[in-house]
């Protein structure tokens, strides 16, 4: 089932230091550093093994204004996932506010400020929903790869460079700073320096877009053993709410 009407996620997707490769890598170092890939795989294995997880994130992203200038925006997300087919997100901040629900059969979006909501049928797994969003809407949800059943398979696809930048502190937590390149995108990730290797920061630069817009996401409050029921992912329209087409939800939330 196509879900061409899910353009509301463009607002939510809006959901460290920059290092020169020459400054941190020897000229003879392989393009795909094995240690960097191993760290990425360790993080992927942790998330793939979790039957459910929750986290909070704060994103800093750049969007073009009507005059062409790129503006810096801030948004927050509260995400819950239960494999294989349940996902929930609450987006707040400078981006339009949305509550997002996927229950394995349908996707719903609710704008609390205006009490307007939309609902549409969707594929039966998270792995099927996520690529459908990008294919049908062109939206790049930068944290989406972490939600797949096998994050490493998605993150390592078409890589042209993998680099170990080095140790780094993220809000008091020792992390490994890794950097990667693929066609149209440069990205960095900071993983906790422990066996779980949970992500604490993600930075993405879109090299195939004008002005090379950048998004930085910081993660907190990871819980790999949350208590989540099927009802937590089902949208129930509150009293007085009005259903409208998905494309109208974004405009309503911006009011």
Give, as one character, the DSSP assignment of residue 19: -
Output the average pLDDT for the chain: 84
pLDDT at 26 over 90: no
Question: Has this prediction a pTM greater than 0.85?
Answer: no
pLDDT at site 242: 92
In the chain, domain spans: 9-15+20-253
Average pLDDT of the segment spanning 200-205? 97
Q: What is the pLDDT of residues 212-224, one digit of tens each?
A: 889 999 999 999 9
pLDDT at site 147: 97
pLDDT at site 10: 38
Cis upstream peptide for 84 (omega within 30°): yes
pLDDT band, very low/low/confident/very high, at 12 (cuts 50, 70, 90)? very low
Sheet holding 185-192, edge to edge: 161-170, 173-182, 185-192, 199-206, 214-223, 52-64, 70-82, 86-93, 98-102, 106-111, 116-121, 242-243
pLDDT band, very low/low/confident/very high, at 249 (cuts 50, 70, 90)? very low
N-to-C CA span, the chain: 31
pLDDT band, very low/low/confident/very high, at 11 (cuts 50, 70, 90)? very low
pLDDT band, very low/low/confident/very high, at 136 (cuts 50, 70, 90)? low
pLDDT at site 7: 42
pLDDT at site 230: 94
* Residues forming a β-bridge with 33: none
Q: Which of 1-10, 11-20, 87-96 has the highest mean pLDDT?
A: 87-96
pLDDT at site 9: 37
pLDDT at site 94: 81
Task: Return all residues near 128 (Cβ < 8 A) that are at least 6 apart.
Answer: none
Q: What is the pLDDT of residues 45-97, one digit of tens each?
A: 999 999 999 999 999 998 888 898 888 999 999 999 999 999 999 989 887 78
Average pLDDT of the segment spanning 243-250? 62
Contact 160, 182 (CB under 8 A): yes
**Class of 9-15+20-253 per CATH?**
mainly beta
Average pLDDT of the segment spanning 202-214? 91
pLDDT at 28 over 60: no
């Amino acid at each position: 089932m196509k879900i061409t009407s899910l353009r509301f996620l463009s607002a939510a997707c809006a959901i460290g230091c920059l290092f020169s490769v020459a400054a941190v890598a020897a000229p003879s170092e392989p393009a795909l550093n094995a240690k960097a890939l191993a760290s990425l795989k360790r993080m992927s294995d942790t998330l793939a093994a979790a039957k459910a997880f929750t986290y909070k994130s704060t994103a800093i992203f750049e969007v073009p204004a009507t005059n062409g200038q790129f503006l810096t925006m801030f948004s927050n997300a509260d995400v819950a996932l239960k494999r294989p087919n349940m996902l929930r997100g609450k987006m707040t901040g400078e981006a339009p506010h949305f509550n997002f629900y996927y229950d394995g059969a349908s996707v719903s979006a609710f704008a609390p400020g205006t009490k307007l909501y939309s609902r549409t049928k969707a594929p039966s797994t998270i792995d099927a929903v996520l690529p459908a969003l990008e294919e049908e809407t062109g939206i790049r949800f930068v944290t989406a790869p972490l939600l797949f059943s096998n994050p490493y398979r998605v993150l390592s696809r078409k890589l042209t460079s993998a680099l170990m930048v080095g140790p780094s502190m993220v809000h008091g937590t020792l992390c490994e700073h890794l950097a990667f390149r693929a066609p149209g995108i440069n990205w960095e990730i900071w993983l906790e320096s422990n066996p779980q290797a949970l992500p604490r920061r993600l930075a993405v630069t879109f090299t195939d877009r004008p002005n090379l817009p950048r998004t930085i996401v910081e993660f907190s409050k990871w819980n790999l053993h949350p208590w989540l029921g099927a009802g937590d992912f089902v949208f129930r329209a509150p009293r007085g709410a009005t259903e409208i087409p998905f494309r109208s939800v974004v405009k309503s939330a911006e009011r």
